[in-house]
Structure 1
Amino acid sequence: IEGAKKCAIEFCSLSKTAGFTGTRFSYTVVPEELVFETSNGGTLSLHNMWNRRQCTKFNGTPYIIQYAGAKVFTEEGMKECQENIGYYRENAHMIAETLEKKGISFTGGVNSPYIWFECPKGMESWEFFDYLLENAQIVGTPGAGFGENGKNYFRLTSFGKHEKTKEAMERFNALF
Structure 2
Amino acid sequence: ALYGVEGQQQSQQLVDYYMKNAELIRTSMSDLGFTCVGGDNSPYIWIEGKMDSWQFFDQLLDKAGVVCTPGAGFGKCGEGYIRLSAFNSSENVSLAMARIKEALA
Fold in common (TM above 0.5): yes
Give the number of aligned pairs. 104
- When you count helix as a share of all residues, which structure comes out higher? 2
The residue that corresponds to 1:93 in the other structure is 23
Q: Secondary structure at the match of 1:72?
A: coil
The residue that corresponds to 1:109 in the other structure is 39
Q: Which amino acid aligns with 1:86?
A: D
What is the CA RMSD across the aligned residues, in angstroms? 1.1
- Say yes or no: does 1:163 pair with 2:71: no
Unaligned runs of 5+ in 1: 1-70
* Max Rg structure: 1
- Matches of 1:101 and 1:172 in 2, distance apart? 12
Q: Percent identity?
A: 42
TM-score normalised to the size of structure 1? Answer: 0.57
The residue that corresponds to 1:139 in the other structure is 67
- Matches of 1:75 and 1:159 in 2, distance apart? 24
After TM superposition, which residue ranges in structure 1, 4 or more long, deviate above 2 angstroms? none
- Matches of 2:81 and 2:27 in 1, distance apart? 18
- Matches of 1:124 and 1:73 in 2, distance apart? 44
TM-score normalised to the size of structure 2? Answer: 0.92
- Say yes or no: does 1:74 pair with 2:4: yes
Structure with greater contact order relative to length (CA < 8 Å, sep ≥ 6): 2
Tell me how far 1:100 sits from its aligned partner.
2.0
